[in-house]
Amino acid sequence: MSNGGGSKRQARVLKGFRDFLPEQMILRQRIVGIARDIFERHGFEPLDTPALEALEVLTGKAGENEQLMYHFEDAGGREVGLRYDLTVPLARVVAMHQNELVLPFKRYHIAPVWRADNPQRGRFREFWQCDADIAGSASPLADAEVIAIMAEVLEALGLPEFTIRISHRRLLESLGRAAGVPEAHASALYRSIDKLDKIGPEGVARELQATGVTDDQAHELLALVTMRGEPLALLGGLRGELEDIDGAATAIAELEQIFDVLPDFGVAADRYALDLSLARGLAYYTGTVFEATVTRPNVGSVGGAGRYDGLVGAFAGRDIPATGMSLGLERIIEVVREHGLMPLPASVAQIAVVLFPETTGAAARLASSLRESGLSVDLSLQPHRSVGEQLKLADRKGIPLAVILGANEVESGAAAVKDLRGGEQISVPLDGLAETLRERLAARDALPV
């Protein structure tokens, strides 16, 4: 290796892409681990798919969002695209492997996706989604389960406040029909309604009028959409108002089943709400839609999704209903950091072993035996550096405890154990050293951080 005489290559990463240093990776892995545990406790199976797909697999599913898709021609002249979500690949997998999968198929998928969006806080071009979906069940019970899983994960992460807002595409459509919105403007309707929080009722009314809705109709629609209260009571009221509207009764019945059973899934009543102003943009949603939001920090939603009964059929040739939820890892991390949840060590190593030129062999053997007992051990590789130096480096890496093994310790059969934060040091017999280390680590973890 040499760059002598040449110009140095510029070290850079692309806009919206990032390196994750160990301290960040430890937090990311911890969060992913919590989500994975809950997914598996619900019997969801792991799945992974290629990052790159044939372009035609990805197109025609997400509507306008496909503008954000990374696509290009590969060296073999194939049109290819990076996946922009995990839902479309799932639909492809279910269609391709119908004979190998038992329906309903419950799967989770934790992986990066790519969208060429403009970066902002909690918004990147490469980001991770944690998805749990059920393919092959049309039952509202399936929707309820994925909503419950979402609530469970957010609860387990310790998010101090979040709300899962629940709505239904068909119900919103019915409301639109009742208000006289032309069918052709349905997606414009969803988008406008969805912006209620941001632009307010007057803003929404203005946008609706631009799509051919009269002032009266717009206000009637807004009145319906902004109703708040106990979900089952609200739905009961709507049932009467929308008696004559096609599809409304089915949508209301589905939502009623979901709200009826959510408490039985263990979801606290203050964690979800019926909110008909929620529409969501992705084109493939066909029924229930939902979204988890927090008020601080301002990162929009931390997760969402819904029912997409037509998507698998686009690949399979026969309809296979499906529903699911998606959590945004980056958004969740913003919340965790903002609220100081989850303080973690900066190193995966629990123990640093400090050594001397004459004790390298003994120290390596000690490290091995500590590892066999289940501890994570960072063996110093610098016997020529002073003990102080080795301790300092271990502390800077964030390792909580050091074991010092010199000639004296080998001789006496007792190692020196030093707490790198407080500085206290004790002598511990080599027999039972692992046990003592584990106790001290546990004691440290119990301390407020």
Partner RNA sequence: GUGCCUAUAGCUCAAUUGGCAGAGCGCUUGUCUGUGGAACAAGAGGUUGCGGGAUCGUGCCCCGCUAGGCACCCCA
Cα–Cα distance measured from residue 217 to residue 205, given in angstroms and rounded to the nearest whole number: 9
Cα–Cα distance measured from residue 84 to residue 49, given in angstroms and rounded to the nearest whole number: 12
Query: Contact with RNA (CB under 7 A): which of 174, 217, 323, 326?
Result: 326
Instruction: Tell me how many residues contact RNA (CB under 7 A).
Output: 66
Report in angstroms how near the CB of residue 275 gets to RNA at its nearest: 14
Report in angstroms how near the CB of residue 164 gets to RNA at its nearest: 11
Query: Contact with RNA (CB under 7 A): which of 88, 146, 302, 367?
Result: 302
Sign of the CA dihedral 293, 299, 170, 89? Answer: negative
Residue 268 burial (CB < 10 Å; 0-12/13-18/19+)?
A: exposed
Cα–Cα distance measured from residue 315 to residue 413, given in angstroms and rounded to the nearest whole number: 68
Tell me: does residue 237 bind RNA (CB under 7 A): no
Could you give the string, one character per residue 77-96, with x where binding to RNA holds by CB under 7 A and - elsewhere? --------x-----------
Tell me: does residue 176 bind RNA (CB under 7 A): no
Query: Contact with RNA (CB under 7 A): which of 83, 106, 418, 440?
Result: 418
Tell me: does residue 206 bind RNA (CB under 7 A): no
Cα–Cα distance measured from residue 135 to residue 36, given in angstroms and rounded to the nearest whole number: 19
Report in angstroms how near the CB of residue 317 gets to RNA at its nearest: 25
Which of 101, 346 has the CB closer to RNA? Answer: 346
Query: Contact with RNA (CB under 7 A): which of 39, 44, 108, 124?
Result: 124
DSSP sequence for 25-79: HHHHHHHHHHHHHHHHHTTPEE----SEEEHHHHTTSSGGGGGG--EEE-TTS-E
CB 300 within 8 A of CB 335: no
Cα–Cα distance measured from residue 337 to residue 434, given in angstroms and rounded to the nearest whole number: 33
Which of 152, 235 has the CB closer to RNA? Answer: 152
Stretch of residues binding RNA (CB under 7 A), selected from 193-201, 214-222, 242-250, 267-275: 193-201
Give the Cβ contact number of residue 245 at 10 Å.
18
Cα–Cα distance measured from residue 348 to residue 350, given in angstroms and rounded to the nearest whole number: 6
Report in angstroms how near the CB of residue 333 gets to RNA at its nearest: 10
Cβ neighbors of 296 (< 8 A, separation 6 or more) are 161, 335, 338, 339
Report in angstroms how near the CB of residue 99 gets to RNA at its nearest: 29
Cα–Cα distance measured from residue 253 to residue 256, given in angstroms and rounded to the nearest whole number: 5
Stretch of residues binding RNA (CB under 7 A), selected from 31-39, 118-126, 174-182, 307-315: 118-126
168: nearest Cα among 309, 59, 33, 345:
309
Report in angstroms how near the CB of residue 68 gets to RNA at its nearest: 6
Stretch of residues binding RNA (CB under 7 A), selected from 57-65, 88-96, 213-221, 242-250: 57-65
Dmax (CA) for the chain in angstroms is: 92
Strands 288-293 vs 322-328: parallel, antiparallel or unpaired: unpaired
340-399: which residues touch RNA (CB under 7 A)?
356, 386-389, 391-392, 395-396
Query: Contact with RNA (CB under 7 A): which of 31, 69, 107, 129?
Result: 129
Report in angstroms how near the CB of residue 439 gets to RNA at its nearest: 19
Stretch of residues binding RNA (CB under 7 A), selected from 133-141, 208-216, 343-351, 419-427: 419-427
Give the Cβ contact number of residue 197 at 10 Å.
12
114: nearest Cα among 100, 128, 103, 133:
128
Query: Contact with RNA (CB under 7 A): which of 2, 5, 12, 244?
Result: 12
Query: Contact with RNA (CB under 7 A): which of 65, 211, 226, 436?
Result: 65
Query: Contact with RNA (CB under 7 A): which of 127, 162, 290, 308?
Result: 127
Residue numbers at the binding site for RNA (CB under 7 A): 7, 12, 14-17, 63-65, 68, 85, 115, 117-124, 127, 129, 191, 194-195, 198-199, 280-282, 291-292, 298, 300-305, 326-328, 330-331, 356, 386-389, 391-392, 395-396, 404, 406-409, 416, 418-423, 425
